A and B are shown apart, each in its own frame.
Chain A
Amino acid sequence: MTTDHRQGAGETPARIVPSHEVPPDATLVADNTAELIDVGEHHLCPGCGEPIAIRAVMDGLSLLGLAERCIAVFGIGCSTAFSNNLDVEVLQALHGRAPSVATGAARSRPGLAVFTIQGDGDLANEGLQEVLHAAARGENIVCFMLNNGVFGETGGHLTVTTTIGQRTKNTLEGRDAARHGHPMRVAELLAGIDGVGYVARGAVNNAGNVARTKRMVVEAFTAQQQGLGLSFVEILTMCPTGWFVPTTEAPAYLEETIAATHRVGVLRSALG
């Protein structure tokens, strides 16, 4: 790292010590203490992309004023316990079952923004048929899939979205199509189903992608509010622990391996 421009000639760089006081002549432009997230300790690993993705979801809810009329249906995975830190109503589903649980909640409370948060192991391995059926039924819910290509909570094992060559605990030499099969592109699957209102794939590996993903979240909830059917947003997240890479290399690893198979972008939108 170059440090030339920020220090005096050969001196120890002067640090602007983080202050707990709000600068009097400054305006807050980004507050990571999002109003719906109780900041503080959470148990997710250093460099995990899931809190970033969930924050994007919470920001989208806040922006559209849906916090007081929503139900978050969580699946089982690393992000499950993080639901503890959220100030929205949480309905916990079993592994794989979030879309059907959300269906029951949404049909019983049609005015609410009911959404699911699942990992790729939960949504695409354990319960793939659930989201496909919910999409085909045109359930007016939003489904988020946090895709890191591994079962993070069990310690980094192969999922159906694991990309070719990706190392996991049970594909230590990298996923080999001949031995371990091919990765499934879940957003593409959903985009081909009549009954969906919006399908997109975002990522949280850099600030630009985070901003883009937030827009996708807003569009997905907007489609839900307009009654356009099921909205699906897949969010690529870093899992340095499960990928066996340093935290600082995870964003590039996501870009070069995961996103090369699972392309970021809006795949389908019924929004006007």
Chain B
Amino acid sequence: MSETRLMEGSEVFADAMVRAGCRFFAGYPMTPFTEVLEHMATALPPVGGVCINAESELEAVGMVWGAAATGTRAATGSTGQGLSLMQESIAEASLAGIGFVVLNMARGQGDYFQATRGGGHGDYRTPVLAPSGPSEVSELMAEAFELADRWRNPVVVLGDYYMAHTWVDMDVTDSPPDPPDCPDWALDGTSGGTGAAKLVSPLGTTKQRDGVGYDLAAHYADRARRRAEMEAGIAPRAELTDTDDAEVVVVAYSTMARYAHAAVTELRREGLAVGLVRPVTLWPFPGDAVREASRGAHTIVVYENNAGQMIDDVRLSVLGATPVVGHNGFATDSSAFGIAPDVTVENLTSALREVLATPREGRADGDRPHAGDQRTADRHGAGSGEDLT
């Protein structure tokens, strides 16, 4: 008999982590990450896990670094500023081959670049998974831990304020499975004194035992190779809705994609040819899916709760083949928790109607919308001079 429970989104994140085998969690309170931390403090001890209310984000990610190096599935997270503080460790964990999950519980979507470009120093990337809502979190969280283990690299799961506070019915029938066995490379203390004691370090993978120290050039070359393998080894994914014959394709991720889905559904009911591409992986970005889905479209509209960030990746995907415009600029004040009153289905449908009605002639890609200007759908296109709201 299946058992369901009404859960807040943040609890869904916590439940998904425990089910994915996470047994160590450390974090520093910051909304909307705080609620996940609260739930982990309750959820981990009963399964033998550890949750630490760290004294800073620096220490939170340090603790996770230590736990993950022992082969324990571990996670941390924060939002905006807190994640900025963690970036040094996330960047270097990639060099050290230490995999863990980082929850980017963003406020708006102003942290797209922070999530997808890593935000730290050096030549590294982190896979980024973007569920559209709580019900997709469990599946993607399990995948995130698998990727972190498989590639020994930090993996970002992107949530947001809306998602953390959306209540959903979740199936809680099965109890969490046991975490997987500890990988061979992980530290367990037992290789000391054997002549081949293990090393986990961003500086190298083997002890040189000479006066040279670490062979950094060889290590960095190896990490660059592994990064390329990781990028090639992770299939970019996108969810497509009604894109086959779409004249206008919307690209949106996370919560914004849910608004976009509602808008596309409504416009389709009216017989208008719109479709939606929702990137599920933000790195690697599903550029092929965007390009294929927009092959027959005259315009791509990138719908974001920021001043326009993912639009860069969309433009790189189509390389000018299809005009790309942004519909964005809603919540550019990150301290406002990303809540934007004008993020509504109605706002998007009216903007899309305008784009659909705009003649194709005279369109040109490359007009980047101004930050804060949410009515940027081809401001220079012929006959589209009026206000779209």
Chain A residues proximal to chain B, CB less than 8 Å: 35-36, 38, 40-43, 67-71, 73, 80-81, 83-94, 96-97, 99-109, 111-113, 127, 129-130, 133
Is B189 a contact of A104 with CB atoms below 8 Å?
A: no
Residues in B with CB closer than 8 Å to A92 are: 96, 199-203
Query: B336 at interface (Cβ–Cβ under 8 A)?
Result: no
Is B211 a contact of A43 with CB atoms below 8 Å?
A: yes
Interface size class on chain B is: 35 or more
Q: A87-B193, A89-B187 are in contact. Are A103 and B96 (CB under 8 A)?
A: no
Taking the closest CB of chain A, its distance from the CB of B102, in whole angstroms, is: 14
Is A100 a contact of B66 with CB atoms below 8 Å?
A: yes
Measured CB to CB, the nearest residue on chain A to B208 is A84
Measured CB to CB, the nearest residue on chain A to B96 is A92
Query: B332 at interface (Cβ–Cβ under 8 A)?
Result: no
Taking the closest CB of chain B, its distance from the CB of A12, in whole angstroms, is: 34
Docked pose: A40 CA to B37 CA in angstroms: 48
Considering residues B26, B63, B72, which has the most beta carbons from chain A within 10 angstroms of its beta carbon? B63
Query: B214 at interface (Cβ–Cβ under 8 A)?
Result: yes
Residues 179-207 (chain B) with a chain A CB within 8 angstroms: 187-195, 197-203, 207
Docked pose: A91 CA to B61 CA in angstroms: 15
Measured CB to CB, the nearest residue on chain B to A73 is B66
Is A91 a contact of B66 with CB atoms below 8 Å?
A: yes
Docked pose: A8 CA to B188 CA in angstroms: 59
Docked pose: A42 CA to B56 CA in angstroms: 36
Taking the closest CB of chain B, its distance from the CB of A64, in whole angstroms, is: 12
Query: B30 at interface (Cβ–Cβ under 8 A)?
Result: no
Residues in A with CB closer than 8 Å to B92 are: 94
Is A108 a contact of B208 with CB atoms below 8 Å?
A: no
Q: When each residue 314-342 of chain B gets 1 if its CB lies under 8 Å from chain A and 0 otherwise, what string results?
A: 00000000000000000000000000000
Per DSSP, are chain A's interface residues mostly helix, strand or loop, or mixed?
A: mixed
Docked pose: A81 CA to B212 CA in angstroms: 8
Taking the closest CB of chain B, its distance from the CB of A113, in whole angstroms, is: 8
Query: B301 at interface (Cβ–Cβ under 8 A)?
Result: no
Docked pose: A111 CA to B78 CA in angstroms: 30
Measured CB to CB, the nearest residue on chain A to B200 is A91
Question: CB < 8 Å: which of A42, A69, A109 contacts B70?
Answer: A109
Docked pose: A101 CA to B197 CA in angstroms: 19
A-B contact list, 9 entries, CB within 8 Å: A68-B194, A83-B207, A87-B193, A87-B194, A94-B92, A100-B62, A100-B65, A104-B26, A107-B52
Residues in A with CB closer than 8 Å to B150 are: none
Taking the closest CB of chain A, its distance from the CB of B10, in whole angstroms, is: 23
Docked pose: A75 CA to B118 CA in angstroms: 23
Question: CB < 8 Å: which of B56, B188, B191, B209 contacts A84?
Answer: B209
Docked pose: A101 CA to B54 CA in angstroms: 12
Q: A40-B209, A89-B198 are in contact. Are A84 and B190 (CB under 8 A)?
A: no
Docked pose: A152 CA to B59 CA in angstroms: 25
Is A94 a contact of B72 with CB atoms below 8 Å?
A: no
Q: A69-B190, A97-B89, A108-B66 are in contact. Are A88 and B197 (CB under 8 A)?
A: yes
Docked pose: A85 CA to B209 CA in angstroms: 5
Considering residues B60, B207, B212, which has the most beta carbons from chain A within 10 angstroms of its beta carbon? B207
Residues in A with CB closer than 8 Å to B189 are: 68-71, 89, 109, 111-113
Is B65 a contact of A43 with CB atoms below 8 Å?
A: no
Residues in A with CB closer than 8 Å to B70 are: 71, 104-105, 108-109
Measured CB to CB, the nearest residue on chain B to A74 is B201
Q: A43-B212, A81-B214, A97-B62 are in contact. Are A36 and B193 (CB under 8 A)?
A: yes
Query: B346 at interface (Cβ–Cβ under 8 A)?
Result: no
Measured CB to CB, the nearest residue on chain A to B65 is A101
